Amino acid sequence: MIDWAAELARCTRCGACREVCPVFVLTLREPDVARGRLARIEAADAGGRLTHADRRALTRCLQCGRCCDVCKADVRVPQIVRDAKYRSGAGMGAAQQSITYLLADPQRLRKLTNRARQFAVALGRATADGSGMRLRFALPYLEAGRYLPKLPKQSYLSRTTGRAAGGGKHLALFLGCGAGRIFTGVGEALDTILASMNLTAAVPEQACCGLPAWGMGADDAAREALANFLTAFGEESIETILSPCASCTAMLQREMTEALSDTPLADAARMVAGKVSDVFVWLRENNFHPPHLSLRVAVHVPCHTRRGVRGGDALTPLLRATGAQIVELPAETASNCCGMGGSFGVFHPQESREIGRKKMAAMLAARPDAIVTSCTGCLVQLRDLADHFGATVPVRHGLELLSELLSG
Ligand code: SF4
Ligand code: SF4
């Protein structure tokens, strides 16, 4: 648990965060910037209670950490906001409780995706690039026209769960919900890359990393997801746990130890967190040399990579090493969030899209041959935005681009 009094006292109310907060820059409302959020939390805390209304206000934070880049007082705004959501958790809606419960366990998650696949055709119409669909009508927390990625007939995990490691290293893959259940190409791409290094990674049974629950302050559901993760990946013989999604990586490397710190799983969490590696960091450390790439590439570095992943952004240098030309984005958008921000994109779809549009417009203006990222949540948002712009440029996970080079 965060020491609230100490954290809140550090904020000098300087207002530097107003220059960079994507939500404030859009709305120009003081309650939408770190300073305003902290003042609200402090006032509510002084009154002894954070209410449902406070919780609603806190959902307007992307938890992107952009304010931390400029905060000289080193106030950990995303952590404070997360913690405040937990404290006001009584106000969490039934839909949020249900979704965090379903994500936490492999069997429940499998049932959820199977059911979603059955209804998908009736719910939406396909986008022009065939990567997803737009909802024909509104559903709880999802507005009509919302982009949802296409669910594959067979997920990567349904084909590979139970596979053993091979090639002399005990690698294990944690795919996360996005790569494991939706974007089959990500896991397949990693298999191709590892095969080029004469390696195969084990695929234990798995569900969610717990981040959606943790970010919403649904700590019990997050802990259940993490306990399941530790059961599957706690084997001593596993040397490295590769994660292709920046958000899952940050959750497992950083947040897991805090989430389980006052439980009997604290030691196991610390030990396993040390084995988790961002896949691009691991590829660089293990001398993966992709063939030459003569493309202009726009890279969206996820917020979790910038502030949560050990080793930071390794995708950009890997691409540079291939000879790819990385397009320079304007300073005011280069470090910005894509607008998804976990549940922010669900609760505030208009603002989410407006924030993302600036980033997508800057990337498209550079006329790239491909847009790449390393987080499956960002991938959903970027594909939605590209479709809105009517852009035909492919939006890919970095692993897909690298594996295509190997396949010629
Ligand atoms: S930049 Fe930091 S210290 Fe200044 S107002 Fe924002 S949160 Fe407070
Ligand atoms: S975490 Fe992001 S959205 Fe939240 S206050 Fe900071 S900059 Fe704004």
pLDDT in tens, 100-134: 777 777 777 777 777 777 776 677 788 877 788 88
Closest ligand to C-alpha of residue 352 is 2
Q: How confident is the model at residue 95 (pLDDT cuts 50, 70, 90)?
A: low
Please give the distance, rounded to the nearest whole angstrom, from the Cα atom of residue 303 to the centre of ligand 2: 11
Query: Domain 290-407 falls in which CATH fold?
Result: Rossmann fold (3.40.50)
With a 6 A CB cut-off, is 61 part of the ligand 2 pocket?
A: yes
Q: How confident is the model at residue 1 (pLDDT cuts 50, 70, 90)?
A: low
Closest ligand to C-alpha of residue 38 is 1
pTM of the model: 0.91
Please give the distance, rounded to the nearest whole angstrom, from the Cα atom of residue 176 to the centre of ligand 1: 33
Distance CA 67, CA 226 (A): 28
Please give the distance, rounded to the nearest whole angstrom, from the Cα atom of residue 9 to the centre of ligand 1: 11
With a 6 A CB cut-off, is 14 part of the ligand 1 pocket?
A: yes
**Strand ranges across the sheet with 132-135:** 124-126, 132-135, 147-149
Which atom of ligand 1 lies nearest, measured to the CA of 35?
5
Tokens 């404030």 -> residue: 24
What does the DSSP assignment read for 21-84? -HHHHHH--GGGSHHHHHHHHHHHHHTT---HHHHHHHTT-----HHHHH-TT---HHHHHHHH
Q: How confident is the model at residue 293 (pLDDT cuts 50, 70, 90)?
A: confident
Residue-range domain boundaries for the chain: 4-91, 151-283, 290-407
Closest ligand to C-alpha of residue 78 is 2
Residue nearest to atom 6 of ligand 2 (CA): 67
Closest CA to 384 of 343, 322, 339: 339
